[in-house]
Amino acid sequence: MNQEEHPIGVFDSGVGGISALQAMIRTLPQEHFIYYGDTANAPYGTKETEEVIACVREVTDRLMKRKIKALVIACNTATGAAAFTLRKELTIPVIGMEPALKPASEVRKDGDILVLATPLALHQEKFNLLMEKYGEGAVRVPCAGLMELVEQENWNGAKKYLEEVFALYDLKKVDAVVLGCTHYVFLKGMIRRMLPENIVITEGSDGTARQLKRVLAKNHLLKEHGEGKVELETSGNPEDIGKMRRLLKRDVSE
């Protein structure tokens, strides 16, 4: 098998990375993706960095045995914790994600940018560097527990959680909201309905998909013909596969 025919490994701590996978399938419909949700070890966002790296190494070893041609870390927390380490250790391209603070900064007028993310993601060095470049007006909004509500498909619970979060801020003084966790993308439609129309919502899925395509093309790994396919795997309950399938079909604008 030519290397461009090999699969692309995609993983997250749970089902949130399915939102990034949706964007990758739209951008690269001919590719073969293996998505691994590390649900047995979720959430990553409340763990120490070394714990996250250990989890990520275990998932990566599993995916490398499948002869993947590239690895996508479809998780902001895991990217911040482990991307640098993986790029040193692996011989294949490693694509990560980061909170979409740069596009939010580009639409900012003189208001705030609310950055919703896990507690760990908001205090990693990678995010601090982003803040130095694009963080004028940015406010860290740690959302411990929100990722778990998405994992549980508890949409009413998520709505109540978000209402309480946004009640803490004067939304008339907010220009943008950054969804800094792939799980939160499944709440995008809900969040859109909660916010004034002028507030821009940014997230990184499409940018990550475009970056994956660029990297594959640069490394002569792009599969340009044939039909794509998706395999779903989990370290946790087999029922999580059904949840992944449901989310893969879910319109994030709902």
Residue range 101-148, pLDDT digits in tens: 999 999 999 999 999 999 999 999 999 999 999 999 999 999 999 999
How confident is the model over 55-68, as pLDDT tens digits? 999 999 999 999 99
Phi and psi of 28, rounded to 5°?
-130, 65
192: Cβ–Cβ under 8 A, 6 or more apart, which residues?
Answer: 201, 253
pLDDT attached to residue 1: 74
Of 157, 160, 183, 156, nearest to 244 by C-alpha is 183
Euclidean distance between CA atoms 232 and 243, whole angstroms: 10
Question: Domains plus CATH for the chain?
Answer: 3-97+205-249 (3.40.50.1860), 101-202 (3.40.50.1860)
Burial class (CB in 10 A: 0-12, 13-18, 19+), 85: middle
Structure token pair of residue 64: 């490398």
What is the model's pLDDT at position 254? 62
Q: Hey, what amino acid is at 206?
A: D
Annotated active-site positions, please? 75, 181
For residue 77, what is the enclosing H or E element?
helix 76-89
Q: Kindly report the pTM of this predicted structure.
A: 0.94
* Cβ atoms of residues 68 and 8 within 8 Å: yes
Ranges in the chain, pLDDT < 70: 254
- Take residue 6 and report the two structure tokens written for it: 């090999």
DSSP 122: H
Please give the pLDDT value at position 188. Answer: 96
**Rounded Cα gap, residues 99 and 186, in angstroms:** 15
- DSSP code for 198: T
Burial of 2: CB neighbours in 10 Å, binned 0-12, 13-18, 19+: exposed
Question: Which whole-number Å values give the CA distances from 235 to 43, 56, 208, 239, in the listed order?
Answer: 13, 12, 24, 11
H or E segment at 11?
strand 8-12
Please state, in angstroms and rounded to a whole number, the distance separating the CA atoms of residues 231 and 34: 5
Lookup: tokens for 161: 């959680």
Q: CA dist 17 to 75, 181, 219, Å?
A: 6, 9, 24
Break the chain down into helix, strand, coil percent, rounded to 5.
50, 15, 35
The reported pLDDT for the residue numbered 252 is 80
